[in-house]
A and B are shown apart, each in its own frame.
Chain A
């Protein structure tokens, strides 16, 4: 017998959703064959059979939430396929570690203290979310008064959006689909960023002629030498780092009443995938050559599309580049990737008539947008940063000379 356990999910990830079982109880499985897919806030991961045998039962059905160490199912090692055994009462609960001794003075709120009978009734009768009620009782327990207050607060709330507890009716030509955990996380993070930051966007435009000429001149030789195509992203990553070095506020984050400046440049590059947007991080991008950047982005993009991103690939970015241009966007205001303080929006390159030295000339132009957290980056810094990016793209030799 071998329990199939939920693996460690990575730093700061405490639970996962069972996305899909590829086997059902009673199926014969081979060692290392994928049994079940899990989704976390950040990545999808697969759990393989630890040995040859038969999947005896499934403890955590699809849609169940599991913690690291929780039993997903059980494998009868070496057994031959037969009728599935009756599963014991499904238990998605992981064995909890012994609680650490509470610090003496402050009464630590009991996270999962059972509800008092009265609160239990009120919560059940009114579809309240017990976890969302602030408890005023001993060690943070929810009292009847707390539950009544929550009920009253809900009654007084101005036309609250349909609460998940009371889903609205579906009409004939509508379809209800549960948001994936990834989508839910994206939704929550975006809203959190909007709520937390004093976010605004500044724009500029960049003449892509010089970079395009450079690229045209060297693209074959570049590909031959490095085995990777020379794209525009590498120039933008270089240009962004050039700008961040001039305006360190954009590479910093707010922590309480402090500002944390980061002397490393880990650039998140937004990648659209089937399941949604992910932002893998290119580490120490300032130390990479153009070819190194192209290779790195290529590898991350492939991993993202294959659903193979690891948590480490997604954590710890200091600045993000988003490219709406690949879908044809001419101008947009990207939302910050909290707790970062800046995000650059690239857009579609479009030929437009420009006035140059008193002459109208046609130039390949791109609008640039920088959304930034005004709490930490002031207007001058934001504009300066964007101008630095523009200058570096319009005159790539600046990157060489660092001016």
Chain B
């Protein structure tokens, strides 16, 4: 029976990074993954393929509209098969890349579904049904999450799809209803709207993207509306009937009132994700997930000795980069080192047009906590690079402690916001003050200057607006 220092169950961003870090630290490590490729949801049916379609569809839309204003006259023709193929090619290259990294770091990939059968024991059932039992000093649960189903709306992956299905629709829907105005729903809704769909977003809450700074969310929603996305907020979906040609959806106002029926060719259910912790044999080591399926941990240690958990399976933002941070800290702790993740510094990005990115606290959170803060804000309409590129939507906003000037939160809405937020992640990790950004030379002309001008604004010396 093979004996490992650490066996990781799940080969997504949490699991594969855990494997690599373990290999780097000289631990004998194996990753159990039941998919036929590594990379988990993120690489196979999540972040990566959605970004492939977002990029391609954005260019398609630009070619059909904005190009003409730049003096480029073309009439784009959509080849959906090719668009899907380039997506698949990229995904394949990325998953192969992880296989290479495993070899490089001497991490074993054990194909099959893992199940904990007792302390230090993992049973792996391969695709052909054969069962192997492995032994490990440490077991890391990195099984991730799956789309949360919506009662009354059965996913058939034909007309009613989840995020996985929405990444591979066989045609551009004439109409698409997205249930859930979260990040996934808005990204995939954007893809299909750009390719020609009439998109309606139905959201239970009275706002979009819960968790996002409210002012930022409002600006973001205005942009999407201008692009043609229709929003039905405060609306509850109570039932769905799928036919060969489409779906008929029953929607009721949350506040009460008459139900209405909405028709669309396709429906995307994107109301969130839930931990994927069923069938893992947790009961065999005395771990009971909470009622939403999350495993309770103390610095990644579960209640069972030698069993650890990271990523979407535990509390915290359900994001690939958060899982990656967890993995490094968890493995370093297993190796007897120091590991720590500050969840306040896990950034979020929405890869729509405009993008939205933020890190730290929202204004609502600061008010709730009674923290005195100052705001610096700078519109991209006053940023030279944004103007030159005709991309002036949005703003950068910096929130800083009123007394110490420490940056507490940064919210950016605008193209490439996701690339801009990293600067502030570093700054905040070093407890930087807004003045620290304001006094650092930024390249001109770039969008990053807007981030600096916003920082200047905290102490009232924004110079270019």
Chain A residues within 8 Å of B, Cβ to Cβ:
104-105, 116-118, 121, 136-138, 141, 143-145, 148-149
Interface check B465, CB cutoff 8 A: no
Q: Binary interface profile of B, 262-298, with partner A (CB < 8 Å = 1, else 0)? A: 0000000000000000000000000000000000000
Q: Decide if B435 touches A117 in the complex (CB within 8 Å).
A: yes
A23 to chain B, nearest CB (A): 44
From A116, A136, A148, contact of B432 by CB (8 A):
A116
Q: Which of B336, B432, B440 gathers the greatest number of chain A CB atoms within 10 Å?
A: B432
Per DSSP, chain B at the interface is: loop
Q: Decide if A118 touches B405 in the complex (CB within 8 Å).
A: yes
B359 to chain A, nearest CB (A): 16
Residue of B nearest to A143 (CB): B431
B159 to chain A, nearest CB (A): 52
Q: Decide if A145 touches B440 in the complex (CB within 8 Å).
A: no
Residue of A nearest to B439 (CB): A117
Residue of B nearest to A148 (CB): B404
Residue of B nearest to A117 (CB): B439
Interface check B99, CB cutoff 8 A: no
Q: Decide if A116 touches B433 in the complex (CB within 8 Å).
A: yes
Q: Decide if A144 touches B338 in the complex (CB within 8 Å).
A: no
Q: Decide if B431 touches A145 in the complex (CB within 8 Å).
A: yes
A149 to B431, CA, bound (A): 15
Residue of B nearest to A142 (CB): B431
From A104, A118, A136, contact of B436 by CB (8 A):
A118
Cβ contacts under 8 Å, A141 to chain B = 430-431
A145 to B430, CA, bound (A): 12
A136 to B433, CA, bound (A): 13
Q: Decide if A145 touches B436 in the complex (CB within 8 Å).
A: no
Besides A118-B436, A144-B404, A144-B436, 12 more A-B contacts (Cβ < 8 Å) are: A104-B338, A116-B432, A116-B436, A117-B440, A118-B432, A118-B435, A121-B435, A137-B431, A143-B432, A145-B405, A148-B404, A149-B404
Q: A118-B405, A118-B439, A148-B403 are in contact. Are A143 and B337 (CB under 8 A)?
A: no
Q: Which of A121, A138, A144 gathers the greatest number of chain B CB atoms within 10 Å?
A: A144
Chain B residues within 8 Å of A, Cβ to Cβ:
336-338, 401, 403-406, 429-433, 435-436, 439-440
Cβ contacts under 8 Å, B405 to chain A = 118, 144-145, 148
A141 to B431, CA, bound (A): 9
Q: Which of A116, A138, A141 gathers the greatest number of chain B CB atoms within 10 Å?
A: A116
Cβ contacts under 8 Å, B435 to chain A = 117-118, 121, 144
Q: Decide if B429 touches A144 in the complex (CB within 8 Å).
A: no
Cβ contacts under 8 Å, B401 to chain A = 145
A319 to B371, CA, bound (A): 57
What would 27 A/B residue contacts be, using CB atoms closer than 8 Å? Answer: A116-B430, A116-B432, A117-B435, A117-B436, A117-B439, A118-B405, A118-B432, A118-B435, A118-B439, A137-B431, A138-B429, A138-B430, A141-B430, A141-B431, A143-B406, A143-B432, A144-B404, A144-B406, A144-B435, A144-B436, A145-B401, A145-B403, A145-B404, A145-B405, A145-B431, A145-B433, A148-B403
Residue of A nearest to B433 (CB): A144
A121 to B337, CA, bound (A): 37
A116 to B431, CA, bound (A): 10
Cβ contacts under 8 Å, B338 to chain A = 104-105
Cβ contacts under 8 Å, A116 to chain B = 430, 432-433, 436
Residue of B nearest to A106 (CB): B338
Cβ contacts under 8 Å, A117 to chain B = 435-436, 439-440
Q: Decide if B439 touches A104 in the complex (CB within 8 Å).
A: no
Cβ contacts under 8 Å, B431 to chain A = 136-138, 141, 143, 145
Q: Decide if B440 touches A143 in the complex (CB within 8 Å).
A: no
A137 to B404, CA, bound (A): 12
A58 to chain B, nearest CB (A): 36
Cβ contacts under 8 Å, B429 to chain A = 138
From A104, A138, A145, A149, contact of B337 by CB (8 A):
A104
